[in-house]
Amino acid sequence: MDGQTDIPKAAEALTRGELVAFPTETVYGLGGDATNDAAVARVYAAKGRPSFNPLISHVPDAEAAFALGDFSEDAKKLAHAFWPGPLTLVVPRVAACPVSLLASAGLPTIAIRVPRHPVALTLLKIFGKPVVGPSANPSGRISPTTADHVRRTLSGKVSVILDGGPSKVGVESTVVGFLDGKPLLLRPGGIAKADIERGLGMPIDVQGHAARPHAPGQLASHYAPHAELRLNADAPQAGEAYLGFGPFHAHGPFTLSATGDLTEAAANLFRLLHDIDATGVARIAVAPIPHHGLGDAINDRLSRAAAPRDT
Q: Which part of the chain is CATH 3.40.50.11030?
A: 228-306
Mean pLDDT of the chain: 88
Per-residue confidence at 292, pLDDT binned at 50, 70, 90?
Answer: confident
Nearest to 241 by CA among 278, 269, 271, 282: 282
pLDDT per position as a tens digit, 9-50: 999 999 999 999 999 999 999 999 999 999 999 999 998 745
Per-residue confidence at 209, pLDDT binned at 50, 70, 90?
Answer: very low
Q: Which part of the chain is CATH 3.90.870.10?
A: 4-206
Q: Rounded CA gap, 58 and 122, in Å?
A: 12
Return the CATH fold of 4-206: DHBP synthase (3.90.870)
Handedness of CA 214, 217, 218, 223 (dihedral sign): positive
Q: What is the CATH number of domain 228-306?
A: 3.40.50.11030
pTM of the model: 0.81
Neighbours of 206 (CB within 10 A): 11
DSSP 232-301: S-SSPPTTEEEEBBTTB--SSS-BS-TT--HHHHHHHHHHHHHHHHTTT-SEEEE----SSTHHHHHHHH
